[in-house]
Amino acid sequence: MLSEEEEDGRAGAASGAATLAIVQSRDLTMAEAKALARAVTLRYLRGPRRDFWYQLARFLSCGGLGVVMAIAIVLSYSARYFAPLLIWLAGIAIAACFVGAFAHRARHVRFIADANRTASPAGTRHAIDDRGYTVAHGGMIIFIPWSGILDLERLPDVFLTATSRVQFWAIIPAAFESQDAAAFCAELERRWRAAKGAAYAG
């Protein structure tokens, strides 16, 4: 069920949309923080993946590994004595690149996860009213008008509110114990879409 503050706001609203709020009851676990980091990273990469130069650079970087192997094969025919050594060196170089890429990704996800845990501690309050969406924690209050929300995304374990391509506010429903975070997220999305539709109509 929703918090008492939500019920009071709902009951006391004579007109307009009532204020609804949920408060994070515990810190995120590392698994939850990593899931959030992956979700944000995948969403952030949607922009670059539509960029021609980004795709070209990605193709060239991947193609470089193929070139290394191709050169090794060509040299193996022209210098038979060194062929086994060259092929082994090429294989080791390619394997090292893949291992390095996976290690880099793992460290990247952990770094972002640590930042997410710090940015979304226990006690973080998420509230919505007729004006927009408010996030408060650690003495900071961030207000986002409905027009300032770029997009919303509902994932199995994460709800993302995007204010730009690289800025997101996240709700992990499991971290809001004894509160109906799913209902809050649904209402947040409903109000945002209603405000968006009203803006278009106006």
Average pLDDT over residues 17-21: 84
Please give the mean pLDDT across all residues of the chain.
78
Q: CA 71, CA 115: separation in Å to the nearest integer?
A: 43
Residue 36 has pLDDT above 90, yes or no: no
Report the alpha-carbon angle 88-92-95, nearest 5. 140
What is the structure's pLDDT at 14?
38
In sequence order, the 6+-apart residues with CB closer than 8 A to the CB of 69 are 90, 91, 94
**HEC profile for the chain?**
CCCHHHHHHHHHCCCCCCCEEEECCCCCCHHHHHHHHHHHHHHHCHHHHCCHHHHHHHHHHHHHHHHHHHHHHHHHHHCHHHHHHHHHHHHHHHHHHHHHHHHHHHHHHHHHHHHHHHHCCCCCEEEECCCEEEEEECCEEEEEEHHHCCEEEECCCCEEEECCCCCEEEECHHHCCCCCHHHHHHHHHHHHHHHHHHHHHC
CA distance 186 to 123: 21
Q: What is the pLDDT of residue 195?
A: 92
User: Higher confidence at residue 144 or residue 85?
Assistant: 144
Does 46 have pLDDT greater than 70? no
The pLDDT tens digits of the residues spanning 103-140 come to 776 776 677 677 667 778 899 999 999 999 999 988 89
Mean pLDDT of 82-96: 70
**pLDDT value at 10 more than 50:** no
**What is the spatial distance between Cα 168 and Cα 144, in angstroms, rounded to a whole number?**
11
Region 56-70: what's the mean pLDDT?
Answer: 66
Nearest-CA neighbor of 170 among 181, 94, 178?
Answer: 181
* Mean pLDDT of the region 152-161: 90
- Looking at domain 4-27+120-201, its CATH class is mainly beta
Identify the bridge partners of residue 26 per DSSP, sorted by sequence position. Answer: none
Instruction: Identify the band that residue 3 occupies on the pLDDT scale cut at 50, 70 and 90.
Output: very low
Give 21's strand partners. 127
Per the model's pLDDT, the better-predicted residue between 135 and 201 turns out to be 135
More confidently predicted of 53 and 197: 197
Average pLDDT over residues 176-189: 95
Annotated domain spans of the chain: 4-27+120-201, 46-117
